[in-house]
Structures are given as C-alpha cells and as structure tokens.
Amino acid sequence: MTAKPRGRPRNAQTDTAILEAARDLMAADGYERMTIEAIAARAGVGKQTVYRRWPSKAAIVAEAVMAGHLGIRADAPPRTGDAAADLRTWLGQFFGQLGQPATVAVIRGLAAAATDGGTEAEQLYERFTGPGREQMLDLLRLGVEHGQFRASLDIEAAADAISGTLLYRALIPPSAVVDTDAAGFLDLLLLGMTPRTSPGGTRPERR
C-alpha cells in the first residue's frame, strides 16, 4: 500500500498533453528527430515535468503507443470461435494500417527506440509486444486445438514470424513494398494452403 501523497498532486491532463505532443511530433519528424525539448514545448510544459514522468524518449513513445495515442490500435481480437478467421481479421487491422504514414512512423520509432539499447529496449519489447503477443498465442493455440492449424506448429516461432514480418514491412521503403494482403500472408505462414491473392492476382513489378 502506497503512502498517502503529500504536496501538489500531479495533473493528469499533463500526461495526455505530453503523449499527444509526442504523437504529433513523431508523425511529423520521426522518432530520431523528435526531441524531448520539443515535446515539452508543444505540450506547454516544463522539461522537468516530462522527466518526472518518463525516464526516456523511448519510454514516452512506448506509453503513447500503449495508451492508444499513437496510430497502432491494439484492440482485442474478435472471438467468433473460428480462430483462423479471427486471427486473419485481427492481423488485417495491422497490415491495413501499414499504408498510413503515421503508423509506419510509429513502428519505425519503436524499432529505433529498441536499438537505443539498455533496459529501455526490454521495457519496450515487453510493453509493446507483450499484450498483443498473448492474444496472438491464444488464437494460435486455439487454432491448433480446433485442427485449423497443423498440430506440429511452433506457436512461439509463428508469433515471432508474424511480428517480424509486420516490422519488416514497416521498415522497408514504400517503393519496395509488396502488396500481399494479410490473409494471404497468414496462409503462407500457417497452412500450406493456397493464399487468397489480391483481386487481379498479378503481382506488381518491384521498382
């Protein structure tokens, strides 16, 4: 049990203001070019107030993502009973967002934050992938149980492959993006079934 706080309590709206400032600047400048000084200024807040709440830029970004201030929405996946379909729907959310520059900026930022090294990388990994990963593993496990995915599936490895592909797609330059849709990707990964190709079927040339 925490001791009753004394002195002036922290202003809860300040958190929001900072996270929103971070979100805007991230979209505008990218993670690297965004500075804590600029975040504070845009939030109309002293620098110390930022440092009092988060230890680093990476931590701010991680929180902004988790709090939903940044583009990637981690809504709970649907649970219709059809695990494969649910997974497709859910991943579709993410793959669909890869078209939006803001989302790409965020994922790039997270990757950059992860490379900052030190404990933040671990934190970020935990906070960012943690909850989503659990959902993913659940659905994969369910799919195996229901016989939708093959029994030998290494669900942890599968989860990593999904996350990794998502990350990779965000990092590569837009001109090189291959427009495979999420469902096709999932089939590729998990089923050995014919992936449903995008309408028209023909793959565009790489630049």
Residues that bind a second copy (CB under 8 A): 30-33, 108-109, 111-112, 114-117, 121-122, 125-126, 129, 150, 152-154, 156-158, 160-161, 163-169, 171-173, 175-176, 178, 180, 184-185, 188-189, 191-195, 197, 203
Residues between 68 and 107 that touch DNA (CB under 7 A): none
Contacts of 163 (CB under 8 A, 6+ apart): 129, 133, 136
User: Least Å distance between CB 13 and DNA?
Assistant: 8
User: 169 contacts which partner out of DNA, a second copy, none, CB within 5 to 8 A by kind?
Assistant: a second copy
User: 178 contacts which partner out of a second copy, DNA, none, CB within 5 to 8 A by kind?
Assistant: a second copy
User: 114 contacts which partner out of a second copy, DNA, none, CB within 5 to 8 A by kind?
Assistant: a second copy
Quickly count: other Cβ atoms within 10 Å of residue 31's Cβ: 21
Copy the structure tokens of residue 197.
């190709």
User: 80 contacts which partner out of DNA, a second copy, none, CB within 5 to 8 A by kind?
Assistant: none
For position 44 contacting DNA by CB under 7 A, the verdict is yes
Contacts of 51 (CB under 8 A, 6+ apart): 36
Contact of 169 with 111, CB cutoff 8 Å: no
Dihedral over alpha carbons 127, 131, 136, 139 (to 10 degrees): 170
The Cα–Cα gap between 141 and 86 comes to 12
